[in-house]
Structure 1
Amino acid sequence: MSNGFVIRSLDEIRFWSRIMKEHSLFLRLGFRCEDTQLIQEANQFYATFEAIEARSHSFDGTADPQVIHRFNAEVHIAVSHIWVFKRKVLGLILQCQLPGQNNFPLLVDHVSREAFYFRNRLEQLNSGRLDPLPDAIINENVFFLRIMADHAKFIGHLLDPSERKLVDQARQFSEEFDQLLFQARDLDSMRPQSQTVPLLDQFLDQNRVSVKSLRDFKRTARDLIESCRIKSIIHPLLADHVFREAERFLVIIDMFESTLTGRPIPTEQLMSLDEH
């Protein structure tokens, strides 16, 4: 284990523990007032991941790798528990046991997929078995393209129907990212033959263009929501939450391309990674 292991571990935990904390809040806001047990569990997860996020900032890149290895293992346990909670909630919704609650089943599945991704990343880091670059490029893009497609769908459904132009833009992004996801899955099924540098480079370039457009749309929507200039039932924190995930995806794309081709990562993307 090395300094690289420490830096990568802290980066993942800082980003995803904040995401898990916010998931707990969003789920709680969607429960009915009588769902006291679920609300209590969501509050406990919020506190757990708030503490993990704070603790992650007490370390820096010079931390003892063995200490970070143990920290990863502790966080893995917490993430496993919130994943189980999210799947339990999804089951209750799909079995019609929470009529009138306001969490879309796809949203609950979405946040559980992100918890599973985080848990898997912690396992990879502690075992030292990260995916080889060609596999990582496809796996990460398949994961994040679906996340982006989901975000577009959620935005479209949570905007007021009278915001016709924005609703239509969200629908167009949903369709665009569904198509990108289908293409990514095709590339996935063709591997290893599909994992040539030219194909992967083009794959990253194409996805970057679309993610930048969606990121900019999310930023605009976030700013409009925060200034109360559009009608929606989107929590301002949710608007910022989905914007940060698009920013994260762009940083990952640029890091992959830099490693694949030797081209340097744009300075603004490095700054974005530091901020988010």
Structure 2
Amino acid sequence: MVNQFVSRSLDEIRFWSRIMKEHALFLSLGFNFNDTKLIQEAQQFIHVFERIEEQLSNFNSSSDPQQIAIFNSQVFQAATSIWAYKRKVLGLELRCEIRSNNFPLLLNHTSREAAYFAERLKELNEGKLEPTPARIIKENVFFLRLMADHSKFIGHLLDPSERKLVNQAKEFSHDFDQLLFQAVDLDSMRPQSETKPLLDQFLDENRVSVVALRDFKKTARELIEACRIKSNIHPLLADHVFREAERFLHIIDMFEVSLTKNN
């Protein structure tokens, strides 16, 4: 359990710190040139998470769990700080105090990811390593919503002339909205829904759709990098959303192993 705590903590920090750093970059690129204070704050967060990534090299799977717990707490503070920053910017957008190219849904989306990251670190430090059926459902709700959001962002950032890809993105958005509603319904049926056959079917259905979206993102990333489609999608953003789909598949795998082990 000790090694699992250490390896799980480092894995979460390695993945999500990079995501947080990239969020700060994307937000800074989306502001207007005169939003200098907000741009500077975003750039400060880039440096914060770069330092966290550098600190990761000091740890490995045999590191002292107490040192890892301290590191988790430090990173937790960084995650909650960037969450507060994103919520502040969202408020400015919704009150029309700033006008940028950062969609309010994007700001909400990225703040949810920061909150998730902070919560995961808190749970790890509390010794919550094994997923409960309730957590399996709730994490799927979280990730299904992310995948639905990604599909919407892709559809809006593609050039309108890319009709086939725009339509594909809309179809994925619809599919993941439906999966999300289904997951929310299942969550509201707890604890009756927390049976292995139901959860197995739930994860299998989600896996099929996430694999399809992951493959779509992979193709889009390759086309964007080769300058073969017209869009406002930064190549790093294309890779960013691809990695998050891969992460969801990794988590589904982990949940399925846990269900098999506990039954």
Shift of 1:58: 2.5
Superposition pairs for residues 90-129 of structure 1, below 5 Å? 90-99=90-99, 101-129=100-128
| 2:193 aligned with 1:185 | no
Shift of 1:130: 4.7
> In the alignment, residue 116 of structure 1 is paired with which amino acid?
A
Equivalent residue number for residue 24 of structure 2: 24
Equivalent residue number for residue 246 of structure 2: 247
In the aligned structure 1, how far is the partner of 2:129 from the partner of 2:111?
A: 21
In the aligned structure 1, how far is the partner of 2:122 from the partner of 2:187?
A: 22
Equivalent residue number for residue 10 of structure 1: 10
Equivalent residue number for residue 269 of structure 1: none
Equivalent residue number for residue 211 of structure 2: 212
In the aligned structure 2, how far is the partner of 1:149 from the partner of 1:57?
A: 34
Does the residue aligned with 2:91 lie in a helix, a strand or coil? helix
Shift of 1:133: 2.4
Equivalent residue number for residue 162 of structure 1: 161
1:49-92 CA-partner distances (Å, limit 9, x unpaired): 01101211331100000000000010011111100000000000
Does the residue aligned with 1:116 lie in a helix, a strand or coil? helix
Equivalent residue number for residue 67 of structure 2: 67
Does the residue aligned with 1:143 lie in a helix, a strand or coil? helix
The alignment of Structure 1 onto Structure 2 pairs a total of residues equal to 262
In the aligned structure 2, how far is the partner of 1:139 from the partner of 1:180?
A: 13
In the aligned structure 2, how far is the partner of 1:206 from the partner of 1:31?
A: 38
Equivalent residue number for residue 197 of structure 1: 196
Equivalent residue number for residue 258 of structure 1: 257
| 2:77 aligned with 1:77 | yes
Equivalent residue number for residue 141 of structure 1: 140
Does the residue aligned with 2:52 lie in a helix, a strand or coil? helix
In the aligned structure 2, how far is the partner of 1:57 from the partner of 1:187?
A: 41
Shift of 1:33: 0.4
Shift of 1:255: 1.3
Shift of 1:139: 1.1
Name the % identity: 70
Moved more, 80-89 or 125-134: 125-134
Checking the alignment, whether the CA contact within 8 Å between 1:6 and 1:61 is kept in structure 2 is yes
In the aligned structure 1, how far is the partner of 2:111 from the partner of 2:195?
A: 32
Equivalent residue number for residue 272 of structure 1: none
> In the alignment, residue 52 of structure 1 is paired with which amino acid?
I
Checking the alignment, whether the CA contact within 8 Å between 1:14 and 1:57 is kept in structure 2 is no
Cα distance, 1:31–1:54 mapped onto 2, change above 3 Å: same
Question: TM-score of the superposition, structure 1-length normalised?
Answer: 0.93
Equivalent residue number for residue 238 of structure 1: 237
Cα distance, 1:41–1:152 mapped onto 2, change above 3 Å: same
Shift of 1:129: 3.2
Equivalent residue number for residue 56 of structure 2: 56
In the aligned structure 1, how far is the partner of 2:208 from the partner of 2:131?
A: 24
Which contiguous aligned blocks of 4+ residues in structure 1 show a shift greater than 2 angstroms?
129-133
> In the alignment, residue 193 of structure 1 is paired with which amino acid?
Q
Does the residue aligned with 2:245 lie in a helix, a strand or coil? helix
Shift of 1:135: 1.4
Shift of 1:261: 2.4
In the aligned structure 2, how far is the partner of 1:132 from the partner of 1:238?
A: 30
In the aligned structure 2, how far is the partner of 1:219 from the partner of 1:58?
A: 32
1:181-209 CA-partner distances (Å, limit 9, x unpaired): 00000100000001110000000000000
Does the residue aligned with 1:150 lie in a helix, a strand or coil? helix
1:106-147 CA-partner distances (Å, limit 9, x unpaired): 000000000000000111111113564211210110000000
Checking the alignment, whether the CA contact within 8 Å between 1:83 and 1:112 is kept in structure 2 is yes
In the aligned structure 2, how far is the partner of 1:131 from the partner of 1:123?
A: 14
